[in-house]
Structure 1
Amino acid sequence: MIREVLTLAHLQELDATEAAALLLVRQDMFDDESDDLVFTAWIDADPANGEAWARACQLWELTGDAPELQALRDAPPAVELRHSAPRRSVQRYAIAASIAVALVCGTTLLVRSPAGPVTPQLASADAPSVMLATAIGERRSFTLPDTSRVTLNTDTAIRVAFRPGGERRLELLHGQAAFAVFHDRTRPFVVAVGRQSVTALGTHFEVRAEPGLMRVVLVEGSVAVRAGRTNRPPSILKPGEALTARGDAEPEVTRADVDAVGDWQRGVVTFRDTPLSAAAVELDRYTPVQLVISDPKIAGYRVSGSFHTDDPARFARTLAELYPVRVVAAGSHRLEIVAATPPK
């Protein structure tokens, strides 16, 4: 598809609300790495851009299936032009700006679709929450309405429900997320995992949620973690500490590998004398290709080192160089790690 090339200069010609709407439309229509680079530069250019983006994402959830947006998706593509935008491209920008007015201001949306007359669509400004999520192998960062940032690891879903002037609340449904929290003592920043919660005031931490388990790693600042039984007082973590909670059991506080928080955000996972069975389970989170180890002896081998999360085959080949094992492909999504010499 031939389409207009998006540049940071194009976005800066619009106000933050219009630019956020345009980015939403393009993300809905295209999968373009160059757009992602422009988006990152735009977010970093001004805190107001992050706030506009978060507001637009929240309301887009309610209006994403509106007929006007579908008409925009079906519109003829704009001609690509790298140095200046033709008038028909500006018209596409104007459509996105019209959507922005309805998305962010809650007014009546009037968009002239290519097929016919102007039609109204009312967009509510009272959206209670917005869902952010990643697919397997995907990582994404978002700027929240208060300019805090959240980075989602593979296969993660989080619900954001900020109350204007009140509590900043998020619910981690599953997966792993890192938070860099804007300091505001008057507005608690709360990450909930089921009945458990982590409350922070200006800090950097990570939360991981799995069935029956929550793990919190504090990189800097301070957090209060409520876990286990509801009548238990919160645990106050210090930088470099991790809290692991399993069901109603007493939470366990240990020293944390804070470097690992940054590793996965760079697409790397680091093992330090880790059982091979546990390393395989960790890597299985990131791709559809699953590493299978049936031999208990092989599962007990220890592995250390840093590995790319998107290349399990390379990890398996490295194991074959270090240990008496070989890799057997069993279908397109299964790699079995077995003894180098089959038993007689």
Structure 2
Amino acid sequence: MTETKNPFQKGQLRLEATEWFVLMRGPDAEQHRAAFEQWLARGALHRAAYNRVANLYSVGKQVDWDALPEPKPVRATLRRTKVAALACLTVVGFVSWRFLLAPGSVPEKPSDRALASSLAPAAAYRTRAGEIRQIRLSDGSDLTLDGGTLLLVTFGADKRTLRLEHGHARFSVAHENRPFVVEAGGSQVVARGTIFDVSFDKAGATQVQLLRGAIDVLSGIAGRSAPAVRLKPGEQVRYRDEATPGPILQVREADIAWPSQQVEFHAEKLSRVLEIVNRSSDIKIVVQDAALGEIKVSGVFRTDDPHKHASSLAMLLGAEVRDTDGRFELVPKK
């Protein structure tokens, strides 16, 4: 679980709340409950962030707010914020009970129940660093998740929605009438039957690569959407946060070979090689020497064995490998 370094950093609380949301719905939830309640007890902002995630993805399981230890108030404003947040939760809970559960409330039609069921999140999928996972969805679409990925899936009556919270994934979309929409940061990738990759890192950078078919990439902020970018097979686009996508570039073979955990490079800069192979591993290979990073290398490398990969690069470059702080550093031989 990611620890809070700066709770006011952009997106930090939402990321932590989402990770706790996934963790507490898993089979090992009880093992993490004490730490989860401590996280919630840090203050009203943490509880509000978790509640927003829970409401967004229609979580049926309720958090026992009354049983949480009291947070330490920093100032009167924080206490008033806590009281206001709890009051809002009480009102929302009462309204939900009155209209959905209470005797004598508006009767539920079978069609409403079916629609509500179809809008519930199908699943949340997560991979550890260095893990490649393949998933078949209920509509027949196939997913391949790279290491360190978190993906939330919701299938509705009119749309299939998947949100990439962070990481890297390949989507092989089953053709049907409902649009297949992948959200990442402030963007949406809309497809019907196609194969494409999407990556979204914690710094807010997004990359979309199309392998087959056609997709539209849309981005926008504060309700203002930029014109859709239509990609053709073999094209990619990159952008940061919710900015307008950059120029359309050609996809390189090394960028899309990651599911096999074996990538081939042809006269590629070492810095770029490491950027690709480090994406699938929790043990990173780094180069501090700028001149070494500019050297172009060729060869076939596996991404699931960082030590072997570092050793191969060192032999190829006439460098040496240093194991420092849980990572491999390539340095020129003296």
TM-score between both structures, scaled by the size of structure 1: 0.59
Residue in structure 2 matched with residue 204 of structure 1 by the alignment? 195
Residue in structure 1 matched with residue 160 of structure 2 by the alignment? 168
Decide which of 266, 273, 281 is 2:267's aligned counterpart: 273
| Number of aligned residue pairs | 223
Supply the distance in 1 between the matched residues of 2:244 and 2:219 (Cα, whole angstroms).
9
Residue in structure 2 matched with residue 322 of structure 1 by the alignment? 316
1:109-135 residue CA offsets vs partner (Å, 9 max, x unmatched): xxxxxxxxxxxxxxx957722211111
Residue in structure 2 matched with residue 226 of structure 1 by the alignment? 218
Counterpart secondary structure, 1:219: strand
2:173 is the counterpart of 1:181: yes
Contiguous gaps of at least 5 residues in structure 1: 1-26, 30-57, 64-123
How far residue 138 of structure 1 moved from its aligned partner, in angstroms, is 0.6
Identity, % of aligned positions: 32
Residue in structure 1 matched with residue 234 of structure 2 by the alignment? 240
2:295 is the counterpart of 1:301: yes
Superposition RMSD on alpha carbons, in Å? 2.7
Counterpart secondary structure, 2:225: coil
TM-score between both structures, scaled by the size of structure 2: 0.60
Residue in structure 1 matched with residue 67 of structure 2 by the alignment? none
Contiguous gaps of at least 5 residues in structure 2: 1-25, 29-56, 62-115
Distance 1:250 1:187, change over 3 A: closer
How far residue 277 of structure 1 moved from its aligned partner, in angstroms, is 2.3
Supply the distance in 2 between the matched residues of 1:232 and 1:127 (Cα, whole angstroms).
28
Residue in structure 2 matched with residue 155 of structure 1 by the alignment? 148
Counterpart secondary structure, 1:321: helix
1:215-267 residue CA offsets vs partner (Å, 9 max, x unmatched): 11111111011035643210111111111122414422111125742x21111
The structure with higher relative contact order (CA 8 Å, sep 6+) is 1
Residue in structure 2 matched with residue 254 of structure 1 by the alignment? 249
Distance 1:260 1:298, change over 3 A: closer
Distance 1:227 1:269, change over 3 A: farther
Asked if the contact 2:254/2:263 (under 8 Å) is kept, the reply is no
Name the aligned partner's letter for residue 130 of structure 2.
G
Residue in structure 2 matched with residue 133 of structure 1 by the alignment? 126
Name the aligned partner's letter for residue 132 of structure 1.
Y
Counterpart secondary structure, 1:227: strand
How far residue 278 of structure 1 moved from its aligned partner, in angstroms, is 2.9
Distance 1:190 1:127, change over 3 A: closer
Name the aligned partner's letter for residue 282 of structure 1.
I
How far residue 206 of structure 1 moved from its aligned partner, in angstroms, is 1.0
How far residue 28 of structure 1 moved from its aligned partner, in angstroms, is 5.9
Counterpart secondary structure, 1:244: strand
Distance 1:193 1:183, change over 3 A: same
Residue in structure 1 matched with residue 20 of structure 2 by the alignment? none
Name the aligned partner's letter for residue 323 of structure 1.
L
Counterpart secondary structure, 1:159: strand
Supply the distance in 2 between the matched residues of 1:209 and 1:241 (Cα, whole angstroms).
17
